[in-house]
Amino acid sequence: MTNRDEKAAVLQGTVDLMVMQTLAVLGPSHGYAIAGRLDQVSRGALQLGMGTLYPGLMRLEQRGWVRAKWGVTDNNRRARFYSLTPAGRRALETEKADWDRLALIMRALLDQMP
Amino acid sequence: MTAFNHLWGMARESLARLRGTFHRQRDDRELQEELQLHLELAAEEARRRGVPPDIAGRYAMIIAGASPVMDALRDQRGLPWLEDLAQDVRFAIRALRKQPGFTTVAIVTLALGIGANTATFSVVHSVLLQPLPYRDSARLVRVWETVPGPEIGNGKGPAFKYDAMDVADALAVSSRSDTIAQLAGYSLVRPTAIVHGAAIRMEGFSVSGGFFDMLGVQPLLGRTFSARQAGTGYERVLVLGHNAWHRLGGDPQVLGRVLTFSADPLGASGGGAIGRNVAYTVIGVMPRNFQFPRDTAQFWIPRALTALANVRPLRLATLARLAGDATPGAAAAELEAIQRHRRGSSAAAPAQPRFELIPLQEEVTGPVRPALLVLISAVAVVLLIACVNMANLLLARSESRHREMAVRAAIGAGRGRLVRQLFTESLLLSGLGGVAGTGLAYLGVRLFRALGTTLGRADLGSTAVFPRLSEVAIDWTVLGYALVLSIGTGLLFGLVPAFRGPRPEQRNFLRDATTSPQTRVKSTLVVLETALAIVLLVGGGLLIHSFVKLATVDVGFDASHLLTFQVTVPAVERPDQQRTFAETLVERLRSLPGVSGAAYARQLPLVQLRDSITLTTRRNGVEVVLGEAPDIRFVSTDYLTTLGARIVSGRGFRETDHEGQRGAVIINEALAQRDFLGGDPIGQVVYLGTQRQLPFEIVGVVGNIRQQGLDRAPRPQYFIDIRQVPTDGTFRAPPLFPLGAYYCVRTSADMAVLVSQIRTVIREMQAQATLDNVATMEQILSNSITRPWMYAVLLGIFAAVALCLAAIGLYGVMAYTVTQRTREIGIRMALGADRRRVVALVLRHSAALTILGLVIGLAGAIFTTRYLTGLLFGLTPLDPITYVVAASMFALVAMIASYLPARHATNVDPMIALRNE
């Protein structure tokens, strides 16, 4: 339990990035599909809880970075489909660049010899 | 660009959440549906993998809408703190509506406190805090000069203080001074204007050239005149005041029009030409708030200082602007040096005139500052009492809500949330009180301006006038003050119940409820507000008592049924003509129906024109100057009789005391007592000043008349029949009627009817004669005590409000204790106590509180009423009668406030009381 909480806390700041990247790859998808994709790509390491995923989606929607539409799944179920807006695409590019830069810095920092 | 994108996103999120707080774009059902799908899909996948699904519970929670995920979504949807606040407010409104009685008392209490404070602050703000409406007005000073008294006979005369400067000095200063940047003189002129054939007496000021430049106020229309234009002298141009412009029709095309005066307002001495019908061209109109030097000013005309200096020694009221960073003290020192240099006297000479430069704002508002500070302090005490009352009310209320709070705590409301709820209620109450109070403040300001309304006559002096009264208004600053006050009081009285959570009390049989901790807090608060109310009651009582003394002081004449007025006759200019006109008019007035006496004089009581001439007499063959120059009054033969003054000994004036006869003089008691203690003054011969050619015989002594003000002790004074003043130039006297002749008529008829009759009489005598300054003597007297009247009424109102609030507080606490003691009282009654003893039981408690509050309050009053000293007439701040009356009044009100709950206690049914447990 605590383990998962910690993981969630670490990932909280990057939820936006992950969700938007997933939407960029998958195209319009509902929440469960996004969560499933993340689970799959991370090989089970990333199990995004509903309490993180859905408020995150709502936040992105409020920022105008994603938009949502009610639609029907392959199994004929009503679901809310999320897709990136043009502003969302731009935001994704920025966030990705930021993340890359941070990752490089971290790498360089951690590679230092003692 | 990207950073902008990010910021834009944040802003949109905030907006969306703010919107979401009030309008749900996505309601709970929609959120639930999305989550349900998620769980269903997860369950299917689990089944496919052969894992037993453990999500049933979560599913149920989401359907119930109570899952943490739903909470997180709801929080993200709107702004949680705002939603909580809205919920708190909604709840508070519901709670307040459930108890309309409590809510009404609370809002009225607060409205009185906040309203009185806001109104009083608006006065303080407009009068004391706002700078005067002139450019850089803090640098403006008025010049006062103290001239040492002359050597007279057996001693030295008193120094004389002028609020005016010698014109020659003023000219020297304006050309030489380093500390004074600008300087302007001004003096009152009262010409008669001819408008559409009718004569109108007007009041204006002749001002020297720098006047408008120095004040830096732009005209509403046209232009003003500058130093250069006025400096050349005699240009006949005129700037109208806003009121006069309106009275003349308010025509926007007024510029270039001509205003015709029956004679040059500047007169011969002002450099103007003698002649009839002098035309002045209107060149400008000043804005409404330009009222310098006072609000009665109708116009301003230029007058060159240089033209005046050559005529004769003349003093002009002077206004100056300090240069750079010069202090008033430094400027005064330089003025003295310049004057010494100009007159060629040495610095060591003992009797040098002294200059004093007083900031204009201080001179204008200084006289009312102490009273305003007293009022604002008193009204703050009223608010404090209101807060104490509120704390008490809320405290009692919080106990009755014990159960409600416990339930809310049990279902998960944290202590913080409960405290916030209580504060929300307090702030809501104080907010509503603030709104109502602001409404009251508007009424208060109107009341204040109505109370301060005077006859608006320059000749009655400025001591009655409340300065800047027309500027008193509620503006944004004042509204901000009301807002701060509302929030402040809400937090203040909200503190007590919010942090004094309900505590379980020990249930104790026959326990005396008066000693429970709750009651102790309430009793302390009641004692506190009682004490505060007593202080205000004593203060208000002192001012009212003082006002009554002032209004009923013996003025030395009979002011009832006495009509006063002035008549100006432009065509009649020579002193002997003026006198003849007045004699004829008085003669005709006497024949009007209901008129029992008519007289005229150079001035009436309370008209601020004082003349004094020393008297010289001969004692044991030696000439003696009688002390400090007494006041001299030139009056008509019947003046003292018409006024109803008392002749103490000797006789009054007679028809035979006219010009050419041996002079007759009547002295007042003050003069008789000061200079004729040794013997009978009747029959003694005196001379006016040094004019030996005209001896006067003292023929009578008249009772003292209050001439300068009801609060001023009568000065030594003597009366001369105006007909005995030689007008052929052999007698050196100031102009006969410098302010115009004053008339008074004693009548039993209706005043309004009489006025129209008088108007007809005057018209018949002279077509161009004007009747003005019509007022009954009683109006003039009450006008002179306008300020004490205002202070007494206002502090009286504050004291009355304080008394009511304290009574409400006492009532509340007594009612509360009676409820708390229901059981005890029931048992006592079951054991045989009768109604009287039960009432006594309750009254004893309230009496204890009241007496304690009284003692503390009276002690506080003794300590604080010293600040009223300057406002009191005829009594000291420790006046015992006022203290006794205030204390008894409070005791009586307290008795009533506690008798009601006491009587209620006797209605307790012992059976019900005992079953209550």
Residue B492, domain member (yes or no): yes
- Reported for B323-331, long-range contacts at CB under 8 A and 24+ positions apart, including other chains, are B323/B177, B323/B178, B323/B179, B323/B180, B323/B181, B324/B181, B326/B178, B326/B179, B326/B180, B328/B141, B328/B356, B328/B357, B328/B358, B328/B359, B329/B357, B330/B179, B331/B141, B331/B177, B331/B179, B331/B180, B331/B357
Whole-angstrom CA distances from B258 to B217, B265, B279, B568, B629 are: 23, 15, 6, 22, 45
Task: Indicate yes or no: CB of B10 within 8 angstroms of CB of A59.
Answer: no
What average pLDDT does this structure show over B746-772? Answer: 89
Q: What is the model's pLDDT at position A6?
A: 47
What residue numbers bound the domain in which B676 lies? Answer: 572-765
Same domain for B485 and B536, yes or no, is: yes
Contacts for B647 with CB less than 8 Å, ≥ 6 apart:
B640, B666, B700, B701, B702, B703
Same domain for B395 and B527, yes or no, is: yes
**What is the rounded CA–CA span in Å between residue B543 and residue B868?**
8
Q: What is the model's pLDDT at position B223?
A: 86
| B37, B55, B74, B75, best to mutate vs chain A, most A CBs in 10 Å | B37
For residues B255 and B221, is the Cβ–Cβ distance under 8 A?
Answer: yes
- Six-digit token pair at B874? 């005829």
Residue B173, domain member (yes or no): yes
Q: Percentage of residues in chain B with pLDDT exceeding 70? A: 88
Q: What is the model's pLDDT at position B63?
A: 66
Question: Strands, DSSP E only, in B77-196?
Answer: 140-147, 151-152, 155-156, 160-162, 164-166, 180-189, 192-195
Q: How far is B89 from chain A (nearest CA, A)?
A: 27
Partner A, chain B 505-534, Cβ-Cβ below 8 Å:
none
For residues B815 and B904, is the Cβ–Cβ distance under 8 A?
Answer: yes
**What is the rounded CA–CA span in Å between residue B836 and residue B841?**
8
Nearest CA in chain B to A76: B37
Nearest CA in chain A to B15: A62
- Structural fold of domain A2-110: Arc Repressor Mutant, subunit A (1.10.10)
Confidence band of B879 (pLDDT split at 50, 70, 90): very high
Residues forming a β-bridge with B221: B285
Q: Around A16, how many Cα atoms within 13 Å sit in the side-chain half-sphere?
A: 23
Helices B835-864 and B517-551: crossing angle in degrees, nearest 10, is 60
CA dihedral B666, B669, B675, B677 (to 10 degrees): 120
Confidence band of B128 (pLDDT split at 50, 70, 90): very high
Whole-angstrom CA distances from B738 to A87, B264, B603 are: 87, 15, 9
State the average pLDDT for chain B: 83
CA dihedral B343, B348, B351, B353 (to 10 degrees): 50
Higher-pLDDT residue of B342 and B803 is B803
- Is B16 at the interface with chain A, CB within 8 A? yes
Same domain for B826 and B680, yes or no, is: no
Specify the DSSP element, H or E, that contains B70.
helix B68-77
For residue B885, pLDDT beyond 60 = yes
pLDDT, tens only, B255-276: 888 888 877 777 644 333 445 6
Confidence band of B55 (pLDDT split at 50, 70, 90): low
For residues B311 and B271, is the Cβ–Cβ distance under 8 A?
Answer: yes
Q: What is the model's pLDDT at position B309?
A: 53
Same domain for B756 and B865, yes or no, is: no
For residues B519 and B451, is the Cβ–Cβ distance under 8 A?
Answer: no
For residues B268 and B111, is the Cβ–Cβ distance under 8 A?
Answer: no
Q: How far is A78 from chain B (nearest CA, A)?
A: 8
What average pLDDT does this structure show over B151-170? Answer: 70
For residue B694, pLDDT beyond 60 = yes
- Six-digit token pair at B16? 């969306």
**What is the rounded CA–CA span in Å between residue B559 and residue B557?**
6
Q: What is the model's pLDDT at position B273?
A: 40
**What is the rounded CA–CA span in Å between residue B191 and residue B200?**
8
Burial B288-322 (b: 16+ CB within 10 A, else e): eebbbbebbbbbbbbbbbebbbeeeebbbbbbbbb
Q: Work out whether strand B663-668 and strand B695-702 pair parallel, antiparallel, or are unpaired.
A: parallel
The domain boundary residue, chosen from B52, B78, B104: B78
What is the residue type of B193? A
- Six-digit token pair at A82? 């999320």
For residues B450 and B478, is the Cβ–Cβ distance under 8 A?
Answer: no
Contacts for B912 with CB less than 8 Å, ≥ 6 apart:
B826
pLDDT, tens only, B433-487: 999 999 999 999 999 999 998 888 888 887 888 888 888 999 999 999 999 999 8
- Cα B520 to chain centroid, rounded: 40
Q: What is the model's pLDDT at position B228?
A: 63
- The position carrying tokens 């559409």 is B196
Neighbours of A92 (CB within 10 A): 19
Residue B475, domain member (yes or no): yes
Q: What is the model's pLDDT at position B441?
A: 94
What is the residue type of B440? L
Q: What is the model's pLDDT at position B150?
A: 63
Q: What is the model's pLDDT at position B308?
A: 59
Q: Around B489, how many Cα atoms within 13 Å sit in the side-chain half-sphere?
A: 35
What average pLDDT does this structure show over B672-698? Answer: 83
- Six-digit token pair at B858? 């009276």
A23-32, B360-369, B610-619: segment of lowest average pLDDT: B610-619
Contacts for B655 with CB less than 8 Å, ≥ 6 apart:
B637
What average pLDDT does this structure show over B776-800? Answer: 93
Residue B781, domain member (yes or no): no
What is the residue type of B15? L
For residue B67, pLDDT beyond 70 = yes
SS3 of residue B631 by DSSP: strand
DSSP letters for B725-742: S--SSSS----S-TT--E
Nearest to A32 among B16, B20, B42 (CB): B42
Q: What is the model's pLDDT at position B272?
A: 38
Same domain for B854 and B736, yes or no, is: no
Q: Work out whether strand B180-189 and strand B155-156 pair parallel, antiparallel, or are unpaired.
A: unpaired
For residue B508, pLDDT beyond 50 = no
Task: Indicate yes or no: CB of B34 within 8 angstroms of CB of A55.
Answer: no
**What is the rounded CA–CA span in Å between residue B62 and residue B36?**
7
Length of chain A: 114
DSSP letters for A52-78: HHHHHHHHHHHTTSEEEEEEE-TTS-E
What average pLDDT does this structure show over B209-238? Answer: 78
What average pLDDT does this structure show over A29-41? Answer: 89
Residue B795, domain member (yes or no): yes
Q: What is the model's pLDDT at position B734?
A: 62
> How would you class B847 by CB atoms within 10 Å of its CB: exposed for 0-12, middle for 13-18, buried for 19 or more?
middle
Partner A, chain B 42-71, Cβ-Cβ below 8 Å:
42, 45, 68-69
For residues A46 and A18, is the Cβ–Cβ distance under 8 A?
Answer: yes
pLDDT, tens only, B344-403: 755 545 567 888 889 999 998 988 999 999 999 999 999 999 988 888 888 877 777 767
**What is the rounded CA–CA span in Å between residue B746 and residue B893?**
46
Same domain for B714 and B807, yes or no, is: no
Confidence band of B234 (pLDDT split at 50, 70, 90): low
The domain boundary residue, chosen from B54, B78, B102: B78
**What is the rounded CA–CA span in Å between residue B601 and residue B737?**
8
Closest to B460 (Cα-Cα) out of B824, B688, B783: B783
Task: Indicate yes or no: CB of B76 within 8 angstroms of CB of A59.
Answer: yes
pLDDT, tens only, B695-749: 889 999 999 999 988 888 899 999 999 888 877 666 655 677 877 889 999 999 8
Confidence band of B157 (pLDDT split at 50, 70, 90): low
Confidence band of B76 (pLDDT split at 50, 70, 90): confident
DSSP letters for B236-249: -EEEE-HHHHHHTT
- Is B12 at the interface with chain A, CB within 8 A? yes
Same domain for B187 and B320, yes or no, is: yes
Helices B369-400 and B786-820: crossing angle in degrees, nearest 10, is 20
Residue B734, domain member (yes or no): yes
Same domain for B218 and B283, yes or no, is: yes
A20-24, B158-162, B488-492, B552-556: segment of lowest average pLDDT: B158-162
Residue B85, domain member (yes or no): no
Specify the DSSP element, H or E, that contains B850.
helix B835-864
Q: What is the model's pLDDT at position B349?
A: 52
- The position carrying tokens 């009056």 is B635
| A17, A19, A62, A74, best to mutate vs chain B, most B CBs in 10 Å | A62
- Six-digit token pair at B94? 């519901």
Q: What are the φ/ψ torsions at residue B64 (nearest 5 degrees)?
A: -75, -10
For residue B104, pLDDT beyond 50 = yes
pLDDT, tens only, A43-80: 877 777 788 888 889 888 888 899 999 888 888 888 99
Same domain for B722 and B830, yes or no, is: no
Task: Indicate yes or no: CB of A63 within 8 angstroms of CB of B12.
Answer: yes
Domain count, chain B: 4
Same domain for B214 and B303, yes or no, is: yes
Same domain for B613 and B752, yes or no, is: yes
Nearest CA in chain A to B41: A32
Q: How far is A31 from chain B (nearest CA, A)?
A: 7
Q: What is the model's pLDDT at position B351?
A: 63
Domain boundaries, chain A: 2-110
Residues from chain B that touch A58, judged by Cβ atoms under 8 A, are 26, 73, 76-77
SS3 of residue B324 by DSSP: coil
The domain boundary residue, chosen from B352, B382, B404: B352
Residue B121, domain member (yes or no): no
For residues B221 and B285, is the Cβ–Cβ distance under 8 A?
Answer: yes
Q: What is the model's pLDDT at position B739?
A: 78
Same domain for B160 and B294, yes or no, is: yes
Contacts for B507 with CB less than 8 Å, ≥ 6 apart:
none
